[in-house]
Structure 1
Amino acid sequence: MKKIWHRGLPFSPEVAPYLRRMALVDEHREELLRLQGVWDSLALLGQMSGTATDIGQTRTAFQNLTTTLLDSLARRLRDNALARMNGRARVAIDILVRNLFERTADVGFLASDGPLCAHAALDPTAPDHATRRAAVQARLAAYTAKYSVYDDVIVLSPRGEVLARCDDSQPLTNCDEPWVAAALASDAPYVERFGPTALLGGRQGLIYARALHAPSGVVGLLCLSFKLADEMSAIFHQLLAGQDVHAVICLLDAEHRVLQSSDAWQVPPGAQLSIHGERLLFAGRDYLCATATASGYEGYMGPPGWTACVMTPLEWAFDGEADAAANEDLRRLGEAIDTAQLFDAELQGIPLEARRIQRNLSRTLWNGKLRSHGQGDGERGASFATTLLNEVQRTGAQLRQVFEQAIAKLQGAALAAVFDGAVFQARLAVDIMDRNLYERANDCRWWALDVRLQRALAAQTTLDAPAAAAEAQQVLQQINALYTVYSLLLVYDLQGRVVAVSDTAQAHHVGRSLQAPWVAAALGLRDPERHVVSRHEASPLYGAADGDAGERPTYVYACAVAHEGQIVGGIAIVFDGEPQFGAMLKASLPDEAGDSAVRSAGLFVARDGRVVSSTDGRWTPGLPGPISPAVLAALHAGQTARQELQIDGRVYAAGIAMSQGYREYKRGQAASGEDVAALLLVPLGQRRDGPQDGAEAGFVPPPAQAGGERLDIAAFSVAGEWLGLPAGLLVEALEQPRLTALPNAPRALVGMLQHDNRMVPVLDLSLALYGRAAAASDAPVLICREAGRTLALRVDELGAVFSIAAGQALAGPGQRARLVRGGEGSSSSMLTLLSAADLWAHLGVDAEPAQSALPAQ
């Protein structure tokens, strides 16, 4: 892929337009380029003095890694911003479509209302027409009192005359627009129409219409006018609350014309957007842009072509990433867990490559220090060489530190995005639930107004009871066919005896007496605006999904049914909770691929921790969930929280959101044990048992004492222990040399390598001394030469090359080993100084003590 250059570095084309707005990228670029400038100066000094080894390859490797890191960082910032915006766009359109699906059912039910159809069929010249009109308008007001999502309900004649409506302020008496005639002639379950209409005083509106029928044929048209602006305002407020304050969310039609906007000053309704990708120029301003079409609900996809669009000005699109990356708690969490799941292969490889470069640099400098200690150029020359090499090593360590800090910030930003996403998705899940249950609470009260059900219950004390029950069953079946989220609808008399059910397969309930507490509570209601709801618990009305005996937990909504001012029974609706709650949770889960065992999980839980629904089989409805009840008890209505949870050895980001109701439903009520919260769990990774691989060397040499015989030591680590050899015995350190295996050799003798045209045995010191192989696959190999014999030693890490007074090497537990105390800040208190004889002994070769190259004790 062709790269685009920006300030001296190549970047992927997809991020090039945004680099000027990415403060994190600039921050790391400046620091890395400054350190590479220092590096160049040190390399030049080394070449001029002839004391430093060639570090050009290491410089090139760091430069290449700089390019990879900054490009990866820029792409991560872009991807995070787009993912956040895409999520909000998808939520905006999906919540709207779920709401509108209910409207398609409402118009079907209300179009079957007997009094409405009778009034439409009535001759306008009839003497009692005005009285009947007033009664119908009162009836419409009773319906809309239970559903505040409508701003008008209108009944038209076949000629477009206004027969009745809720909003009497509109003076229109007749509407002859073409869509009215088309709706009257349609056999569809509903007609959906958006646009300006004289029916609403010329303003734009979203109308759901259906023809009214009588035995004589079509007698009128029912129109429900939905409060689209009101609904979108609530959706916008929820999605932008507390974050993304500079973003604009728009509802667009099929031509990308703005129907509704969260900020009419930036993007006004009616504006035409030219969307051709993720970057949008509008009114002279650059935006990052994301659009989403509806996922659909129960097969309904919403008005044709409607989409949601999120637009963020480029100057603010990446602004929040720096604060997220600097979060200290997230940085510590990133260090404590394996975050491989959060990064792609390239990002995962950056810290490994930085470690490899650092190891190679350490080996190069280690070899340089070995040579400087053995050159005999005098104390001043050796001091200069050591100082220069130490400065190169320090600069290399600083470069690596910048890489590690950048990776840590990437981890912090990624973790912040995950936690923010978990809270956002939990808020989405509970909002979908609140909106859904709002519909359930209203449905039972709507259907209690059906005169056919009222008459059927009133007739249960008469001889017409069987025929009335049959009619009630037919009405319930028709309603259930429109509202598919219920497993059963039923009506019962004043004694709690079931009169009729909507599902003939469950006719065994007819004639039985209901004993649940909600039955009597509903019969005791006298306010038509009130309803009751059961606890979320197993109900005999909600049997096993496979038809076997059993009960499942769900909610039952109920209210009283009145006829001519007297309570005659009740209506109960059994929510099909298992699939419906499952669908709500699945709709709120982030899009994921890969191993299903480590995907996100969504749950609804009551305040006491009981599971209401779960997408993960580890948590069963009715039993305790993974979150502490104390956390849930502390949340107020609508409040959110985030938490780190460890489940089965894996760390999860938990987003929690407590229900707050919707519109009139449960708003302002006191906290209850039956309140439900959404819990969204996103897997982060396994918790690490110990420090990350590649930690810095922990042995700090002691200050050298003045005077006397000197001892040069080269330090290295093996199996977590710090060891050393006299520097004069060591020739150089090699990186991953090719080994030739030796059959039937001792286990510690892992092969032979070629060095200076001779084959040299390779001893794995970890195996020889501690019985386990070297941990790192790229472990360095030291060439040790003494008395004409050469031996290669595989070790884990290289340490310092330093000088001390011979007297600072203390007697050890063996005959030849010595001990050197660590200096201030050393993580290891002692270094064990080996002799060549100790090493050869592992190969069965005896060496004279004098050949150990250690001064006499």
Structure 2
Amino acid sequence: MPTLREGYEIDPALAGLIRHMRAIDDYRQVFDRLQASWDTLTLLGQLSGNATEMSGPRSAFEKLTASLLGHLAKETRDKVMTDLRIKAQNAIDVLVRNLFERTADIGFLAADTDIREMLEAPASPEARAAIEARFRDYVAKYSVYSDIVLVDREGTIRARLQPHEAQQARHPLIDEAMTSTGAYVEHYGLVDFVADRNALVYAWRVEDAAKRPIGVLVLVFRLADEMEGIFRKLLPEHDWTVLGCVSPEGDIIAGSCPIQLPAGLKLSPAALQGRDPVIRLGGRQYLAMACRTVGYQGYMGPGWLGLGLIPLEAAFDQDDGELGKSIGEELLAAVTSQAGLFSAELRNVSRQAAAIQGDLNRSVWNGSIRQAGSTAANAAFSKILLWEISSAGRKTQAVCDASIGDLHRTVVAAIMEKCRSRAAFAIDVMDRNLYERANDCRWWALNASFARVLAGPSPEGRRLCGEILATINALYTVYSNLILFDAQGVVVAVSQPSQAHLVGQPLETEWVARTLALRTGQHYAVSGFEPTPLYDGAPTLIYTAAVQSPVGGRALGGIAIVFDSTPQFAAILADSLPTDEDGAALAGAFTILVGSDGRILSSSDPRFAVGDASPLPVDPAALERDGDLACIRSFEGKHMAVGAALSKGYREYKTSDGHRADVVAVCAVPLGEVASDSAARPAAGATSVTLAAQKPADGVEAFEVATFHIGRHWLGVRARDVIEAVDIAGLKPSARKAGDGLLAGYKLHEGQPVPVLRLARLLGIPDASSDEQQIVIVRAAGRTLGLIVDTLGLIPEIAASELQPLRELTSKTDVPALGVVATRNARGEPAGMLMLLDVDRLGAKLQGEGGPALVQAAE
């Protein structure tokens, strides 16, 4: 297996990437320096006889740091690859949703009455001018098209939007559109009568009343313009990522950087298969990720892939910025154990580091106990050595914790960014969807048959309008109903036979008057998102446009399109849920759409009903300023990563057409439980064992105290009464109980069973067990006794005069303690209250003697 410098083994898949990860190399250098300290201490330990106390932790730390560096490298790579995957996936999925609308457009427009009549009549300049004016009207509403070409049965170009020298269309797509059994023809490539470069076009035949083909209509999609807009939204400023759209054969369709990824460039198909994340392009190495679309309503697009690239030299230099800084230590502690966020291997590294440090703490503590009261010549040297060993362990643990913490922070920041990205995706797709709705109603209102029937209604005319609406609704499945109404607001025709009872009924709603007041075909009206009988009493949006008289600009009536909001919004939110690498939604994740009033428009989680207040309100001023945000919130007892994005519109929609509706998409992922009882945790710094740096002056009567922590309480016993601290593993439960369950069980020590006392229960301290629990073996009342403690503490030397007898603090005489000591740090500041226990009286407690709890007595 390749190595990361000397002594560190890594995954072969990382061998070519690791040298670009500067943060990993920084940690390696720190670990190298610590390893040198361990080597020196090992040599000194051999001189003092303490080598056996540290050889185990030293070796374990050495293996752990190697494993940790490997995990850091893997997670660093995976974060970058995940970011590439999100961007590439979003790019191709947004494009495919756009193209899905185009497949419906071509079917509808090819059935337009005016276009059919133009092909059936003899060619004339006047007819061509009229139909080309209609094309301009269409593109004024659907600005995604650069050209529209109408070809007759003989291949003669009868009308088009853009000037071009071609007079005939002989491309094979014309014959395919004339004879295909599908619903449209989608083609990408050179089309001689369109342009001298590749173009994406949609074509379909125009039929006469007898369903015989009489020509072909071709829509030319503004692919480069559309891809530029998609890339711009996905790539923030100063982002090194390059995005592209690529065919399965490796042909670049469009790229976000014309220098690094120009259209027409050819990549090896193998580079798109993901076997090696590194590809070479133009003399530069890139990390690469290619993604297939998930499709939309069964439509998979032209078969293209989204491609994400980032130069290898810059891939691992992008930090987490403000997102990383917003993640505090409490949150990191809460999320570390979450199985869904971190791999089992990484969680095991954290546990191993804590376990090794616990073993080292115990070794140092026991070494200090053996030196307590010693007058041997090397006692002082041994204590200093133990202090240095402890210091080396703490430094190693600190670096391990810092590196793991940085990694956890990176993972959490990545989830926050994923939430922001998915919220932005949801709102962008919603804007694009509603852009089409605003266009549809305006274009359909131009249908000549509607104006004729509204100007001179008849039963046959109403039937014809109903058929036209039904044909449109069959192509555009996002509507629950299409309604044509006259100048009095009375329904003339509907698209759904089940809604035929509406015909002849007046529409009693405020948007009818607003629609009839519209004076041009470029304007539309839209209802509020509210319940309506036109949608079975559920809330939805209804887009409307006026049907104008051919002369005078008078509104003859209008068309109302009832958006099928419930399944459409639900599909958008379902597709926006953050997922893992296998495509499964992250556990507990949800997305919602929220209106400007703070009420829910749609939710992926059934707990949050439409119309309810948003469970995660966001700052509207921050969204207005930044457009989107990511943060950590507390919700239902959990830390939640939250991303939010404000509706920004799409093309003309909500940017220049006068319509404004502030909708926010919110995406949330649970990160971990919010700690409910922080008071039960050991005090900060309680897990680190150090030796007292200060001691009483020479000649002052003093004694050493072996201290430990239970919850936030600092307790101790005389060091001379301690045999050693041992691991709690192997504790055998007792068959009998003593003193209300004070006896925890028996621990085999030096071949003999030792009774172990639940010290917390005896002292009236709430049980707050930790992963670092130890058993302190003491000599008590002529017998050996074990005490369960949470963590080991300092071993200071205390002047006898500093011990304040407990009888001076309380009148109770049955408390198993000798007294308390008010301690101070090196600067002379108060450093806590230490309570010195009486081991003999603790032993008596186990035999059923004693009185009330120590903590209660001392209060």
Q: What TM-score do you get using the length of structure 1 for normalisation? A: 0.91
Q: Deviations over 1:828-848 (max 9, x none)?
A: 62212222321221133999x
Number of residue pairs matched by the alignment: 823
Alignment of 1:160-559 (within 5 A): 160-167=155-162, 169-215=163-209, 217-242=212-237, 245-274=239-268, 275=271, 276-277=273-274, 278-303=277-302, 305-321=303-319, 323=321, 327-332=324-329, 334-335=331-332, 337-341=334-338, 342-378=341-377, 381-460=378-457, 465-543=458-536, 551-559=537-545
Tell me how far apart the structure 2 counterparts of residues 224 and 596 of structure 1 sit (CA, whole Å). Answer: 37
> Contact conserved, 1:585 with 1:603, CA < 8 A, in 2?
yes
Report the AA paired with residue 563 of structure 1. S
Pairing partner for 2:609 from 620, 624, 644: 620
Offset of 1:707 from its aligned partner?
1.8
Tell me how far apart the structure 1 counterparts of residues 36 and 534 of structure 2 sit (CA, whole Å). Answer: 77
Residue in 1 that maps onto 2:635: 647
Q: 1:713 to 1:639 in 2, by over 3 A?
A: same
Offset of 1:207 from its aligned partner?
0.9
Residue in 2 that maps onto 1:548: none
Offset of 1:585 from its aligned partner?
1.5
Q: 1:633 to 1:509 in 2, by over 3 A?
A: farther
Alignment of 1:666-681 (within 5 A): 666-668=654-656, 674-681=661-668
Report the AA paired with residue 678 of structure 1. A
Report the AA paired with residue 714 of structure 2. W
Offset of 1:721 from its aligned partner?
2.0
Q: 1:619 to 1:204 in 2, by over 3 A?
A: same
Offset of 1:84 from its aligned partner?
0.9
Residue in 1 that maps onto 2:578: 590
> Contact conserved, 1:638 with 1:660, CA < 8 A, in 2?
no
Tell me how far apart the structure 2 counterparts of residues 370 and 634 of structure 1 sit (CA, whole Å). Answer: 58
Offset of 1:705 from its aligned partner?
4.0
Deviates more, 1:637-646 or 1:477-486: 637-646
1:819 is the counterpart of 2:820? yes
Alignment of 1:32-43 (within 5 A): 32-43=31-42
1:837 is the counterpart of 2:837? no
Tell me how far apart the structure 1 counterparts of residues 342 and 683 of structure 2 sit (CA, whole Å). Answer: 19
Tell me how far apart the structure 1 counterparts of residues 583 and 722 of structure 2 sit (CA, whole Å). Answer: 49
Tell me how far apart the structure 2 counterparts of residues 846 and 605 of structure 1 sit (CA, whole Å). Answer: 65
> Contact conserved, 1:601 with 1:681, CA < 8 A, in 2?
yes
Deviates more, 1:591-600 or 1:156-165: 591-600
Q: 1:827 to 1:186 in 2, by over 3 A?
A: farther
1:635 is the counterpart of 2:623? yes
Residue in 1 that maps onto 2:103: 104
Deviates more, 1:480-489 or 1:277-286: 277-286
Residue in 1 that maps onto 2:783: 789
1:68 is the counterpart of 2:56? no
> Contact conserved, 1:737 with 1:781, CA < 8 A, in 2?
no
Secondary structure of 1:528 counterpart: coil
Q: 1:322 to 1:666 in 2, by over 3 A?
A: closer
Q: Identity of counterpart residues, as a percentage? A: 38
Q: 1:115 to 1:757 in 2, by over 3 A?
A: closer
Tell me how far apart the structure 1 counterparts of residues 495 and 330 of structure 2 sit (CA, whole Å). Answer: 54
Report the AA paired with residue 475 of structure 1. I
> Contact conserved, 1:637 with 1:658, CA < 8 A, in 2?
no
> Contact conserved, 1:713 with 1:801, CA < 8 A, in 2?
yes
Q: What TM-score do you get using the length of structure 2 for normalisation? A: 0.91
Tell me how far apart the structure 2 counterparts of residues 835 and 182 of structure 1 sit (CA, whole Å). Answer: 97
Secondary structure of 1:819 counterpart: strand
Q: 1:157 to 1:668 in 2, by over 3 A?
A: closer
Tell me how far apart the structure 1 counterparts of residues 844 and 47 of structure 2 sit (CA, whole Å). Answer: 44
1:712 is the counterpart of 2:704? yes
Offset of 1:192 from its aligned partner?
0.7
Residue in 1 that maps onto 2:671: 684
Q: 1:842 to 1:231 in 2, by over 3 A?
A: same
Tell me how far apart the structure 1 counterparts of residues 231 and 296 of structure 2 sit (CA, whole Å). Answer: 20
Q: Deviations over 1:486-526 (max 9, x none)?
A: 00001001100011110011112111111211111111111
Tell me how far apart the structure 2 counterparts of residues 185 and 441 of structure 1 sit (CA, whole Å). Answer: 33
Q: 1:594 to 1:812 in 2, by over 3 A?
A: farther
> Contact conserved, 2:579 with 2:586, CA < 8 A, in 1?
no
1:662 is the counterpart of 2:650? yes
Secondary structure of 1:635 counterpart: helix
Offset of 1:346 from its aligned partner?
2.0
Tell me how far apart the structure 2 counterparts of residues 395 and 428 of structure 1 sit (CA, whole Å). Answer: 48
Secondary structure of 1:801 counterpart: coil
Secondary structure of 2:736 counterpart: coil
Tell me how far apart the structure 2 counterparts of residues 774 and 635 of structure 1 sit (CA, whole Å). Answer: 43
Secondary structure of 1:37 counterpart: helix
> Contact conserved, 2:373 with 2:704, CA < 8 A, in 1?
no
Tell me how far apart the structure 1 counterparts of residues 50 and 564 of structure 2 sit (CA, whole Å). Answer: 80
Alpha-carbon RMSD: 2.5
Residue in 2 that maps onto 1:13: 12
Q: Which runs of 5+ in 2 are unaligned?
A: 851-859
Tell me how far apart the structure 1 counterparts of residues 835 and 625 of structure 2 sit (CA, whole Å). Answer: 64
Tell me how far apart the structure 1 counterparts of residues 152 and 321 of structure 2 sit (CA, whole Å). Answer: 61
Secondary structure of 1:14 counterpart: helix
